[in-house]
Structure 1
Amino acid sequence: MDLVIEQPTGLFDKIFIEALKERKIYLNQEIDASVIEIICATIRQINWEDTKKNIPVEQREPIEVYISSPGGSSYDGFAAVNAIVTSKTPVHTYCEGYAMSMGLAIFAAGHKRFAYPYTTFMYHEVASGVFGKNIEIERQNKENKRIQGMYDNLLMSRTEMKKTQLDKVKKDSLDWFFDAEEALKMGLIHEIVK
């Protein structure tokens, strides 16, 4: 079964569909279930097609994910992270404008990572708005700590970021913004696109 795509209705749809045929995926909005569903399904489909054609992993054409996202849902974002890190077909991530919060995590999941010169990255502590009884708030705090641990471990395992750096940002309640040059020094990106 090949990648089946409905007939496009507008110019943007036509561009998006042509990009998918070329193994290019665009994440240029807030992260939620609907956008992540497309990303995960496309990565799985391309892997299935490459496997069906018996293309050895080292000879597979990479999937390119272009990111310019402010972040969004952690749970949905980690679905994309899982699709990327478990993909046998290489997934290269490109940051075109900004990768913030969960967008940063998805970017970091790439097997090879690229950024353009005027890119901005942002890391911060996981946030949620929880109301209710104390027991409900305590349960949500415990879950937030679990998600934060996953987020931090992903970044530390794929870069040279240190726990002390990340802990300082959280302790100071900061949003940590940095550019492509700093990201290159930290091992977040492999190359700046020039």
Structure 2
Amino acid sequence: MAEASYVYHDRFLDEMKMNAALRDRRIFISEEVDRESMFKACYLLDRLVELDKQDDKKKDIEIILDSYGGYIYHGLALISKIISLREMGYKIITTVNSVAMSMGFMILLCGSERRGLKHSRIMCHQPSSASWGTLQDMEESVEETQALWDRMKELIIKYTNITNNQLEDIKSRKYDWFMWSEEALKLGVIDYII
């Protein structure tokens, strides 16, 4: 019989996050970027937009990141929502508390104002794929992963000073590009160190 694993669910932390979102307009992403965490973040953004309709005023929203990343497809849902809100006239502030890596990095980039703490650690890398099965399955996975990398590169180049050559260097040498806030500031990944 397999042993059941138990993950402690901290209701106090959940309540803190909900209060921060609805009272202070600060959405915390401190877990893996996955379907559930991105659904919650998008839901909270939609709630704030609904609350703003009552006042007929678009107030700033802050997204605070402490994320090592996760799934690209689910992260793109939040990125799409952020871009949509920016186009509606919202100021979306993305702030790195400790880490914004992988998809956390991508979410950080889409804020209209991007900030990091002095000792924040930020990391960019190419997408990975765990493809198994037939040769056809693996070829399709490679094509899809390349398409995702192309989409990620478009966003990175649009919102930062990072060049296509720098991104292709990451791909060809297969490495994770770690940076402190000072380097991120020089590269246009963040706008301010706080």
Is the TM value for this pair above 0.5?
Answer: yes
Deviations 1:112-131 (A, max 9, x none): 10000001111111001000
* Equivalent position SS for 2:59: coil
Question: SS at 2:162's partner residue?
Answer: coil
CA contact (8 A) 1:44 1:83 kept: no
Q: 1:126 — aligned with what? A: 127
Q: Is the 8 A contact 1:114 1:189 kept in 2?
A: yes
Query: Per the alignment, in what secondary structure is the counterpart of residue 98 of structure 1?
Result: strand
In the alignment, the residues of structure 1 paired with residue 172 and residue 14 of structure 2 have an alpha-carbon distance, to the nearest angstrom, of: 43
Under a length normalisation based on structure 1, what TM-score does the superposition of the two structures give? Answer: 0.89
Whole-Å Cα distance in 1 between the matches of residues 33 and 143 of structure 2? 23
Could you tell which deviates more after superposition, 15-24 or 166-175?
15-24
TM-score by length of 2: 0.89
Match of 1:86 in 2: 84
Change (3 A) 1:10 1:129: closer
Q: How far has the Cα of 1:54 moved from its partner? A: 2.1
**2:191 match:** 190
Give, in whole Å, the separation in 1 of the partners of 2:47 and 2:15.
19
Cα distance in 1, alignment partners of residues 76 and 106 from structure 2 = 8
Match of 1:111 in 2: 112
Deviates more, 1:85-94 or 1:174-183: 85-94
How big is the shift at 1:152? 1.0
User: For residue 43 of structure 1, what is the aligned residue in structure 2?
Assistant: 45
Which letter maps to 1:174? Y
| Structure 2 residue aligned with 1:149 | 150
| Whole-Å separation in 2 of the counterparts to 1:10 and 1:43 | 21
Number of the residue aligned with 1:97:
98
Question: Equivalent residue for 1:71?
Answer: 69
SS of the residue 2:93 aligns to: strand
Q: Aligned letter for 1:149?
A: D
Unaligned runs of 5+ in 2: 1-9
- List per-residue Cα deviations over 1:135-191 (Å, max 9, x = no partner): 111111110011101111111100111000010011001111011001111111110
Q: Is the 8 A contact 1:99 1:120 kept in 2?
A: yes
Aligned residues: 181
Shift of 1:52: 4.4
Which residue in 1 is equivalent to 2:170? 169
Query: Aligned equivalents of 1:140 and 1:53: distance in 2?
Result: 47
- Alignment partner of 1:113: what SS? strand
Q: Percent identity?
A: 27
Pairwise CA distance, 1:47: 1.9
Residue 39 of structure 1 deviates from its aligned partner by 0.6
The whole-number CA distance in structure 1 between the counterparts of 2:142 and 2:39 is 27
Alignment RMSD (CA, Å): 1.3
**Does the 8 Å CA contact 1:30/1:70 hold for their aligned counterparts?**
yes
For the 8 Å contact 1:67–1:96, the answer to whether it is kept is yes
Query: Structure 1: which amino acid aligns with 2:122?
Result: F
Corresponding letter in the other structure for 1:79: A
SS in 2 for 1:144: helix
Q: CA deviation at 1:29?
A: 1.3
